[in-house]
């Protein structure tokens, strides 16, 4: 069975900001799917322990008062999210995300912040297989014009995205985009094994980062794009 017809686990975070080292998790979701069909969803709402900026609330709809009143303590929830995610990977189920390097790096930073074992610690060094719908799309259709947001990529591949910036909805949409990519691009992605595709993405992301960095340095010699994937 090709990977996109089998079990996949979607993962997404909504957060306080865009810096994976400094931002905190507000909501998280893991969705279990088979062939893009939803089987189950696990959701978390956290009290991040810091103020949620108004611009973040405007995106995901969670404000300080709601998070403090209904959210779980961050250390407790972060441990549970990591344990659940790593449990799926330990079973050999690929984890799918859209911009995985952000979500996984932020989760790893939260684990370190709360004195918990990192993802690599829990998995014997290698965090994977991870399938990043953004990285795959960027590699197999590199000349397509326009933005590469999840909303836009869903439009390209005919995936319905309801309730954007809700972690569960975004996680499921990422899986369905990955399934569409696997079906549409068998030679570049769909016919590869999950571990082989994971390794290809390491190179694809590095090549993209180096190319973008070179372009940015035409104007800013200090511009830097992190080439590491799936963890920064």
Residue 186: DSSP 8-state: I
Looking at domain 3-193, what is its CATH homologous superfamily?
Ribonuclease H-like superfamily/Ribonuclease H (3.30.420.10)
Q: What's the rounded Cα separation, in Å, for the pair 208 and 101?
A: 14
* pLDDT tier for residue 54 given thresholds of 50, 70 and 90: very high
Query: What is the rounded average pLDDT for all residues in the chain?
Result: 97
Contact 136, 172 (CB under 8 A): no
Rounded to 5°, the CA angle 13-15-21 comes to: 100
pLDDT of residue 153: 97
Q: What's the rounded Cα separation, in Å, for the pair 149 and 108?
A: 23
pLDDT at 1 over 80: no
Domain boundaries, the chain: 3-193
Q: Give 94-130 as a DSSP string.
A: PEEESSHHHHHHHHHHHHHHTT---HHHHTTT----E
Q: Give 55-94 as a DSSP string.
A: HHHHHH---HHHHHHHPEEHHHHHHHHHHHHHHHHHTTPP
91-95: average pLDDT: 96
* pLDDT tier for residue 164 given thresholds of 50, 70 and 90: confident
């Amino acid at each position: 069975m090709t990977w996109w017809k089998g079990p996949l686990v979607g993962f997404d975070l909504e957060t306080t900001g865009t810096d994976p080292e400094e931002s905190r998790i507000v909501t998280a979701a893991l969705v279990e799917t088979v062939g893009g069909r939803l089987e189950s969803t696990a959701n978390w709402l956290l009290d991040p322990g810091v103020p949620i900026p108004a611009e973040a609330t405007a995106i995901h709809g969670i404000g300080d008062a709601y998070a403090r009143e209904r959210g779980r303590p961050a250390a407790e929830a972060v441990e549970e999210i990591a344990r659940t995610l790593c449990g799926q990977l330990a079973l050999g189920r690929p984890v799918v995300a859209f911009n995985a390097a952000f979500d996984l790096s932020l989760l790893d930073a939260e684990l370190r912040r709360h004195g918990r074992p990192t993802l690599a610690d829990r998995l014997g060094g290698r965090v994977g297989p991870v399938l990043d719908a953004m990285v795959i799309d960027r590699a197999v259709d590199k000349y397509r014009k326009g933005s590469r947001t999840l909303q836009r990529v869903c439009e390209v591949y005919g995936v319905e995205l309801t309730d954007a910036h809700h972690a569960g909805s975004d996680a499921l949409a990422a899986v369905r985009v990955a399934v569409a990519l696997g079906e549409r691009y068998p030679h570049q992605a769909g016919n590869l094994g999950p571990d082989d595709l994971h390794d290809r993405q390491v190179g694809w992301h590095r090549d993209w980062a180096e190319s973008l960095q070179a372009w940015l340095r035409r104007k800013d010699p200090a511009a830097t794009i992190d080439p590491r994937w799936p963890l920064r």
